[in-house]
Structure 1
Amino acid sequence: MSIIAFKLLAAAAIFGVGLVGGLIPLFAAQHAASRRFFSLGNAFAGGLFLGVGFIHLLPEGIEKLEGVVEYPLAALLAALGLGVLLLIDRVIFSDQRADQPQSLYPYVLLGLLSIHSVIAGISLGLEPHLAASAVITLGILCHKASAAFALMVSIHVAGFEARRQKRMLALFVSMTPLGILLGLLATTGLDETSTTLIAGGFDALAAGTFIYIAILDIIDEELATREVRMAKFVMSSLSGEDDVPMPTEDPDRLAKFMLVMAGILLMGLLVPLSHIAE
């Protein structure tokens, strides 16, 4: 099999795996027990995003940038990424949070995951060796399904209608195949140092945003105390939302914590594949 044929098949496989991972939440939404499913799935997604930030993106950013600059630029960019999202969420749009049924986070996640998917696809498209391409493909496949699942859970929890969810899923799963095609066609004028600096800077910035979203949006929401959930219930009722249940003692608190840890551990288990792919 030629290297080009393999990469085209890899693009199709990555698209299919991502589509399956993203469709699971969409089908689950049609069942009566979907609220509990999405609550548990959201906790798992929080663990995945936390693992992506701490275990994958931040170390990758540090590794790429430490060979280019002596200053700990990756750590600074990660902190700035977190700070920018904090500014947007808690300062600029703080007054609108209670009035907006749809969150900003799904758009941020879609953008970050899409850019990262394009970068991963380009790295596969540029790889000249079949064996190395196969390893990179395996690593992308392992990440794609879990990323699509976590993204679609976050989008559903944010209250997006089904049609928009499907459009966002289609956009996300197309990004890696697009990157592969760009890599196959690429004739870039950037030197290796500039490419490394850009990729490392993006990894570090994205790490800070993923950590913020995982902790302050997802995990804090799912493991909130009854008093906090009661306050949110009252605010939702006053704003006209009638589908929010009266908060009770959460029987799934331990299960959610375990799912957060499972998401982190899953990202940890994928580290060897990432290193082999590189």
Structure 2
Amino acid sequence: LKLAPHSPFCAWTFPLLVYISDSPPVPSSQFGLTSINVICWLLPLRAKNFSENKLLLSLANAFSGGVFLSLAFGHLIPECIHGFSELPGERNETLPYMMILFGYLVIFFMEKVAFDHHGLLHDMEAEQKNVMPPSSLDEHSTPENTPPTPNSPTHADATGHSSRSGSRSAVILLGALAIHSILEMAALGLADSFADSALLSLSIALHQPAESIALLVAFLKSGMPKPEIVKFLSAFSVMGPVGVCLGMAVKQVAPPIVDALMLATVAGTFIYVGATEVIPEEWEDQEHKWTKFAALLFGITSIFIITQYTAGLEAV
């Protein structure tokens, strides 16, 4: 098929193709990330025996920690400072850094002060151990050390209390991770180019499965029926598109100062995820520490090389 250079078809299709090639694929990235989110909790939920490769998940989590730190310090913070430098009027040199700190403190408050979702997970594990079935006990246990039988009122009360408490803790954990997800995905909505969108999608895709699986485990330990678990986790999966829409709305409608402030807040969030959440959590267990450290360094260096390469392409 040959078209005249000045035909009406070429007149409107060529600019459209240029726009598509230069634009970040945010909708497709969001669809892929949401699909990964759903798969990570739906498949284990449907499986009869829920199991996971702990070493592989740990290495992926350590790698994602390096990715988040490299994205924050090597990409988001420089972009944020550049955005503030282009604003009209007198500039405050410390404002970008204070907004980055604000982003860090927001997610710190939500996860450690208001909710403490890691503490909730440990509490739920303790509650689950307190309601042990009789088959798991030593057959030589003495009567005074034997817990109430399943038909006794005491056991029923303990089980009911544990279920209610576990369900409440799981819902609170859902709220904390939902806010976390919105802030992470807002960065994708703020992406300026294909390279930015691809890098952010990679970091989130590596980090999100661990969150989805942790949330699923929390709900399973609560004893909540599976149909109810599906409803709650489906609501959690919707938070990703909400965050992307928020970022896109800020980028398209709000003035440049809001875009710069949002970028700084997201950078602080990424620093928290990498330095305060992922890395300390992985090194609580010293097993495979050198392998995990290598994965962390690989995440940092690979993203740094990619960001430098894409920056060089944009400068040409």
Alignment TM class, shorter chain as reference: 0.5 to 0.7
Distance 1:265 1:206 in 2: 21
Q: Deviations over 1:22-78 (max 9, x none)?
A: 578569956744333322222222222222222222221111113332332110111
Please name the residue that 2:103 is paired with: 81
Gaps of 5+ in 1: 124-135, 226-249
- Which of 256, 277, 281 is matched with 1:217 structurally? 277
Distance 2:118 2:243 in 1: 31
Q: Deviations over 1:196-229 (max 9, x none)?
A: x11111111111122122222211111015xxxx
- Which of 68, 85, 89 is matched with 1:66 structurally? 85
Please name the residue that 1:106 is paired with: 177
**Matched residue of 1:84: which SS?**
helix
**Matched residue of 2:190: which SS?**
helix
Pair 76,115 (structure 1): closer, same or farther in 2 beyond 3 Å: same
Distance 1:179 1:4 in 2: 23
Distance 1:87 1:205 in 2: 14
Distance 2:268 2:107 in 1: 9
Distance 2:104 2:300 in 1: 19
Pair 37,267 (structure 1): closer, same or farther in 2 beyond 3 Å: same
Please name the residue that 1:232 is paired with: none
Q: TM-score, normalised by structure 1?
A: 0.64
The structure with the largest alpha-carbon Rg is 2
**Matched residue of 2:266: which SS?**
helix
Q: How does 1:27-176 map to 2 (within 5 A)?
A: 32-68=51-87, 69-93=91-115, 97-98=119-120, 99=123, 100=169, 102=173, 106-120=177-191, 123=192, 136-158=193-215, 159=217, 163=230, 168-169=236-237, 172=240
Distance 2:15 2:243 in 1: 20
Q: Deviations over 1:214-270 (max 9, x none)?
A: 222211111015xxxxxxxxxxxxxxxxxxxxxxxx432111111122222232123
Gaps of 5+ in 2: 1-12, 124-168, 220-228
CA contact (8 A) 1:42 1:150 kept: yes
Residue type matched to 1:208 in 2?
G
Q: TM-score, normalised by structure 2?
A: 0.58
Pair 51,96 (structure 1): closer, same or farther in 2 beyond 3 Å: closer
Q: Deviations over 1:66-99 (max 9, x none)?
A: 3332332110111122223333333334599344
Distance 2:51 2:114 in 1: 37
**Matched residue of 1:64: which SS?**
helix
CA contact (8 A) 2:186 2:245 kept: no
Aligned residue pairs: how many?
232
Q: Deviations over 1:139-166 (max 9, x none)?
A: 4234323422322323323446684656
Distance 2:207 2:234 in 1: 14
**Matched residue of 1:70: which SS?**
coil
CA contact (8 A) 2:107 2:180 kept: no
Aligned-pair identity in percent equals: 18
CA contact (8 A) 1:47 1:214 kept: yes
Distance 2:111 2:200 in 1: 27
Distance 2:42 2:306 in 1: 27
Residue 20 (structure 2) pairs with residue 7 (structure 1)? yes
CA contact (8 A) 2:41 2:212 kept: no
* Root-mean-square deviation (Å): 4.0
Q: Deviations over 1:90-140 (max 9, x none)?
A: 3334599344453665323311232222222xx5xxxxxxxxxxxx33442
**Matched residue of 1:71: which SS?**
coil
Please name the residue that 2:289 is paired with: 253
**Matched residue of 1:251: which SS?**
coil
